[in-house]
Amino acid sequence: MIKVIDIDNIKLGRVNQKFGKNWKTNKLYLLDEYRKFKDLIQLITRKVKIDPPYAVKIEVETYADIDSFIKPLLDGIQTAGTITTDKEVRHLVVLKTPGKKGRPSSLKVYVGSLAENIEKEVCV
């Protein structure tokens, strides 16, 4: 697996903050917080191309729910071009260290080809 993200002092995006609704037009729009997190992930992701299907390992220190930031994180890695689509993520491991409320999070993300990682048994 290749480390594609290693960052401290990050405010994690949350999937429940992805869309807002324009009540006049009754249409959904992408919220700024979600877009900014996804754009940041795209900028800081190591530019490597991995062949699908994918194995992803996430190490995070945060107060946030363990599942709330995964979708915007995978969207950012996809936009960066490291993975072609998050639909091809077949193995996902998330290791969370509880953080303090109100403090920024730290994040490490590793991505690899599933076949290579199963052979080497480094997914977990």
- For 83-98, write each residue's pLDDT tens digit: 999 999 999 999 999 9
Q: For the chain, give every domain's residue range.
A: 2-120
How many angstroms from the chain centroid is the CA of residue 11?
12
Burial group, residue 104, by CB count within 10 angstroms (0-12, 13-18, 19+): middle
User: Which tokens hold the place of 82?
Assistant: 């490291």
111 versus 15: the higher-pLDDT residue is 111
Q: What percentage of the chain has pLDDT greater than the value 70? A: 93
Q: Which CATH class is domain 2-120?
A: alpha beta
pLDDT at 121 over 60: no
d(CA 111, CA 50): 8
